[in-house]
Amino acid sequence: MTSSIVVKPLAGSLGAEIFGVNLSTELDPATVAQIRRAYHEHLVIFFRDQDASDNDLARFARYFGELAILPPHRQHPGSLPELLIIDKKPEDSLVFGWEWHSDTTHLEIPPLGSVLAARLLPAVGGDTMFANQYMAYDTLSDGMKAMLKDVRAVHSNGHILASLEADDVLAPGQGYNSHTTLSAVHPVIRTHPDTGKKALFVNSLHTERFDNMTVAESTPLLRFLFEHATRPEFTCRFRWYPGSIAFWDNRCCQHLALDDYPGQRRLMHRVQIRGTRPE
Ligand code: SIN
């Protein structure tokens, strides 16, 4: 039976809650089409009160594309090879995704999007923020848009590995041995393959410098772009409850996991959908 979903925007810039869908069952094509429309319109969509297993998350994500398999060091024996477990334990100081970013842009083909489910939450805190990168592009001056039109940037996971080492999560040198340092070059302005809209595509967690330029030359303008991309009026903030699920579009929004629940545990399960080369 075809259901009619209810879409409630969460903020003026992006984000909407979707009601009338049960993600623990198969969805009919008409319902998936409605969800896809809401996803394209709101960039990140949220579901509440779901009783979805990891397999349910994977089935839901597959309506939107193939799942991305994780590198071996990220996989957990006994769980789906596509399942990323984000587990901040009370004794951990570093929160996964603590700076604004799009997921794994150090890869040649970053994911299309991710589906994230809450499994265990702190009593309070641990919200996730999202920022609309179409708006970030649209609000640049014509001069800046023209200047950035054909510019490309180098993205890497070096900053993440260095932070993990600095925080004693990885022993000195361990990050660079057991987790390969990877980098990729992407356009600074990308065009969304489905909507045809342009989005700013740099983020402070991964973008190191402009291609063919030094870090020193790149940093002032990149700093401006990082700040501009996450201006408060481009954002929404999502509060998690048991049964909450988020599904974001990695091609046109950034996100940030708030680090405001020291001494508590937060456990999240995520699957990623394979993307296409940013163009
Ligand atoms: C992430 O995917 O970067 C983590 C988001 C979160 O845990 O809220």
**CA torsion, points 103, 255, 127, 140, in degrees to nearest 10?**
180
Going by alpha carbons, the residue nearest to atom 7 of ligand 1 is: 257
What is the 177 CA–ligand 1 centroid distance (Å)? Answer: 24
Can you give the pLDDT at residue 179? 61
The CA–CA distances, whole Å, from 224 to 22, 188, 204, 207, 227 equal 42, 13, 11, 13, 5
The CA–CA distances, whole Å, from 70 to 17, 74, 118 equal 28, 6, 19
Q: What is the mean pLDDT of residues 190-206?
A: 97
Q: Is 34 in the pocket of ligand 1 (CB under 6 A)?
A: no
Q: Is 246 in the pocket of ligand 1 (CB under 6 A)?
A: no
Among 44, 270, 271, 272, name the best residue to mutate to test ligand 1's pocket (greatest count of ligand atoms within 8 A of Cβ).
Answer: 270
Q: Is 111 in the pocket of ligand 1 (CB under 6 A)?
A: no
pTM for the full model? 0.93
Catalytic residue chosen out of the listed positions 42, 59, 101, 190: 101
**CA torsion, points 138, 5, 60, 97, in degrees to nearest 10?**
40
Asked if 256 contacts 54 with a C-beta cutoff of 8 angstroms, the reply is: no
Rg (CA), the chain: 18
Can you give the pLDDT at residue 4? 84
Can you give the pLDDT at residue 164? 67
Going by alpha carbons, the residue nearest to atom 5 of ligand 1 is: 257
Q: Is 98 in the pocket of ligand 1 (CB under 6 A)?
A: no
Q: Is 254 in the pocket of ligand 1 (CB under 6 A)?
A: no
Q: Is 97 in the pocket of ligand 1 (CB under 6 A)?
A: yes
pLDDT over 70 (residue 175): no
What is the 253 CA–ligand 1 centroid distance (Å)? Answer: 13
DSSP codes of every residue in 123-159: SS---EEEEEHHHHHHTS-HHHHHHHTT-EEEEESHH
Name 279's Cβ contacts closer than 8 Å, sequence gap at least 6.
Answer: 187, 190, 191, 193
Percent of the chain with pLDDT over 90: 81
Ligand 1 atom closest to residue 126's alpha carbon, by position in its atom list? 8
What is the 142 CA–ligand 1 centroid distance (Å)? Answer: 33
Can you give the pLDDT at residue 105? 96
Can you give the pLDDT at residue 165? 62
Can you give the pLDDT at residue 96? 87
Can you give the pLDDT at residue 3? 66
AA letter at 51: D
Going by alpha carbons, the residue nearest to atom 1 of ligand 1 is: 97
Asked if 219 contacts 154 with a C-beta cutoff of 8 angstroms, the reply is: no
Asked if 185 contacts 154 with a C-beta cutoff of 8 angstroms, the reply is: yes
C-beta atoms surrounding 61 within 10 Å: 24
Q: Which tens digits make up the pLDDT trace of 23-82?
A: 999 999 999 999 999 999 999 999 999 999 999 999 999 999 999 887 767 777 778 888
Q: Which tens digits make up the pLDDT trace of 101-155?
A: 999 999 999 999 999 999 999 999 999 999 999 999 999 999 999 999 999 999 9
The CA–CA distances, whole Å, from 121 to 89, 135, 197, 241, 270 equal 11, 31, 35, 7, 15
Q: What is the mean pLDDT of residues 251-264?
A: 96
Judge whether 270 counts as a catalytic residue: yes
